[in-house]
Amino acid sequence: MSDEFEKLLGQAAIDVWSSLSRESQQLLFEAAVQRDSDAMTGLGIFLHDRHPKTAHPPKPESVASPRERTSE
């Protein structure tokens, strides 16, 4: 019975993943990979493919500075 509950909870987490805060996503991700560190890369790819809007924002150096934006 415990396996069924774990599966249900896991599926629910996947369903609401994109509505979770970044902090909640990180906590769930870290808890999952703590159980199986070999799954880290695959799980990350799975989540980003399924919920692309949760992908990390661009790094600051790739974003135009305010000066560059006003000169456009």
- Looking at residue 1, its pLDDT comes to 83
Ordered DSSP codes for 50-70: H-GGGSPPPPGGGSPPHHHHH
| 1-33 per-position pLDDT tens digit | 899 999 999 999 999 998 999 999 999 999 999
Do the domain assignments include residue 25? yes
Query: Domain residues for 45?
Result: 21-52
Do the domain assignments include residue 44? yes
What total number of domains does the chain contain? 1
| 43-64 per-position pLDDT tens digit | 989 988 887 665 555 445 544 4
